[in-house]
Chains A and B, each alone.
Chain A
Amino acid sequence: MAQSFGMKGSFIENLPKIYGLYTGGFVVFIGLMAVLEQMGVTADTIGILFVAFTVVIYAAIGWLSRTMQVDAYYVAGRQVPAVFNGMATAADWMSGASFVAMAGGIYFGGYGYLAFVVGWTGGYVLVASLMAPYLRKFGCYTVPDFIGTRYGGGKFVRFCAIVVLVVASFTYVTAQINATGTIASRALQIPFEVGVWFGLLGILLCSMLGGMRAVTWTQVAQYIVLIIAYLAPVIWMSNAQGFGVIPQFAYGDAVSRLTDLEAMHQVGTLKPVEAIAGVSALTVPHSVAGADWLSNWKFATLVLCMMAGTASLPHILMRYFTTPSVRAARQSVAWSLFFIFLLYFTAPALATFTKLQVLDPNLATGIIGKSIDDVMALEWIQKWQNVEFLKVVDSNGDGILQINEFFMRGDIVVLATPEIAGLPYVISGLVAAGGMAAAMSTADGLLLAIANALSHDLFYKIINPKADTRTRLIVARILLLAIGAAGAFVASLRLTSILGAVAWAFDFACSGLFFPIVLGIWWKRANTAGAVAGMIAGFGAGTWYLYMVHFAGMTPWIGIDHLRFGIIGMPVSLIAMVVVTLMTKEPDAETQAMVDEIRVPRGETILGSSH
């Protein structure tokens, strides 16, 4: 690939130069768009250019990375340097939900919602210390590959792992395709149902020809776009409001100011007179933590589910199979979290600034407490109200907008912020491109995780072990197409909100996979029967509980609602696995020696580079 850029040395050596040029090129493109806007090009055209241009770039990278080699297709040839793998993981990780919905969630949910921020970062401590380096030493292509080989090579145990992986990842991927559809339909002015298929086309172009290798290099490119797109408006706004260039450390004043404003506008006291479907009014104060036992318990349980889920989601774990060494896998986890941190510690700042823009009567953008007629005349209010993402109702008929009369959908906080703050449209276009990058990169990783598990573990290891390389890679691609199409079809039905589906994926993963993976590494005694019991009982109990509280109308036990059903699945999984393991024979000497071997970095991987 390096040759096509006309550079000396290998592609890997040239990575900093290539992505440096790419970043520079993207900044020039933003500048060009700003110039076009000044020349009077319409906002819609700029939005279309932003989304179309970036998607074409990703597709081009995907095409350049095409391959017919098994280890390049499944693990990018195991040569991705730690820092670049960190960026790719960060893009893989930060989904449409993180990019689009997180700041909105904090806007409406206040302190309680920060459980997601803590949970989705702290999980990487578990990945680094318990999982990633050992799985890298193992040399597997997929997570079921590890479970299957570690637990005696049987077909049934591998099959159980495939089922959990597919359910968790598929739940997640529909949410991502949904997000690409939402953004594509807004930016390109096409119906949502068409947008979903357009998003899928982009996703498949990135992953189909080159598998993990193509996904890796597009994800790095997508990370660069999404982080610029997230940081730019926040830094702009904070400069405008006088909070300095690094607002993340300086918005403490803004948080205190919000507390005063909330008291003034009676946030929490004034409740909406009537509920309006799909949108909500602000009723939760920004920084007040719950004082009672139950709210602390709800915070902690959500944190735990998201963390254990992080450490069990196969599309994340498999990113660490691509590094050149065990040491690089460990360093790469640290870099991943660093790159994720850049966005996650900005999200609360974004929520704070946006809320301040809306609530503060001293700012030109403040709308609460202004006359309804003036507010209705604002362009961004009209625009979002037209698509029913926002609603203004004068419930007490006094002609003034109160806090309980302004309704908004959480998802639009990030997308609408540039307009709320009156930033030029070029920033809105940039944010749309960033949201698209976030949703596409996660969808790529998830689709690949599912297709790889089905092609490598189900087709090759269980159904047809004699298949040759060509057949395997063709099956992998057909599966990718089929699963992508299934995901797009489910997404176009719009069954769940973006965030609900995301949290469920974490709960499914941690219920079924967390303990079988961890104990497979840290407990030599763990055996096949135990792992099967752990997966079936944990996954089964979690799913049963989800069904009962979400669909069958059962009252949740001590605040454990449908977002936290991993709290039920995980202990059941642990107990079932330990009890059944202790009741059955210990694993044979060969398996025990294998576990000893994955615990030291030196030496060959357990599974060969092409297996």
Chain B
Amino acid sequence: MNTTGSNREVHWERTRRLMITTLILWFIFSFGVHWFANTLNNFSFLDFPLGYYMAAQGSLIVFVVLIFWFSWKQHRIDVECGVAEDE
């Protein structure tokens, strides 16, 4: 497969967009949610106060899933743009 200039441009554009999407989700679960922890603690989830749960467990699960998803998605972009490594 050839990797022409325009192919690379499309690849980088899609890679950048994926990075931005990933970082928006990262921002929400790193900062957004915890800013309102005190309010969230009024709700309960699996019997946990929700604000506590998000910091002790919820955000962590989101991060793990997010990176696996990112890794899968980026590989698909690489394959579709013909810049993936040969296995």
Contacts and interface: CB of A to CB of B under 8 A. Distances in A.
A263 to B, nearest CB: 14
A121 B41 contact: no
A345 B85 contact: no
B54 to A, nearest CB: 9
Nearest to B26: A125
A125 B66 contact: yes
A114 B85 contact: no
Count chain A CB atoms within 10 A of each CB in B29, B63, B78 and give the residue with the most.
B63
A251 B45 CA distance: 11
B48 A252 contact: yes
A550 interface: no
Interface string A571-610: 0000000000000000000000000100111100000000
A334 interface: yes
Contact of B57 (A248, A326, A596, A602): A248
Nearest to B52: A287
Interface stretch (A32-40, A336-344, A434-442, A541-549): A336-344
Interface stretch (A295-303, A423-431, A492-500, A527-535): A295-303
Contacts of A601: 78, 83-85
A126 B48 CA distance: 28
Interface string A218-253: 000000000000000000000000000000111111
Contacts of A296: 34-35, 37
B70 interface: yes
Nearest to A328: B85
Given A296-B35, A601-B84, A287 B41 contact: yes
Contact of A122 (B15, B57, B63): B63
B67 A333 contact: yes
B55 A125 contact: no
Contacts of A290: 37-38
Nearest to B9: A596
A326 B48 CA distance: 40
B87 to A, nearest CB: 8
Interface residues of B, number: 49
Nearest to A286: B52
A287 B54 CA distance: 11
Given A296-B35, A300-B35, A345-B56, A125 B23 contact: yes
A135 interface: no
A307 to B, nearest CB: 7
B22 A129 contact: yes
Nearest to B32: A300
Contacts of B74: 133, 330
Contacts of B48: 251-252, 255, 287
Interface in A122-165: 122, 124-126, 128-130, 133
28 contacts: A111-B55, A114-B56, A117-B56, A121-B59, A122-B30, A125-B23, A125-B26, A125-B70, A129-B23, A249-B46, A251-B48, A252-B48, A256-B44, A256-B49, A287-B51, A289-B52, A290-B37, A296-B37, A299-B34, A304-B30, A325-B85, A327-B71, A334-B67, A337-B67, A338-B68, A341-B61, A600-B8, A600-B11
Interface of A: 111, 114-115, 117-119, 121-122, 124-126, 128-130, 133, 248-253, 255-256, 286-291, 296, 299-300, 303-304, 307, 325-327, 330-331, 333-334, 337-338, 341, 344-345, 348, 596, 599-602
Interface of B: 3, 8, 11-12, 15, 18-19, 22-23, 26, 29-31, 34-35, 37-38, 40-41, 44-49, 51-53, 55-57, 59-61, 63-64, 66-68, 70-71, 74-75, 78, 82-86
Given A252-B44, A252-B47, 19 more contacts: A111-B55, A115-B55, A118-B34, A122-B29, A125-B26, A128-B22, A129-B23, A249-B46, A255-B48, A287-B52, A289-B34, A289-B37, A296-B37, A299-B37, A300-B35, A334-B71, A348-B57, A599-B12, A600-B11
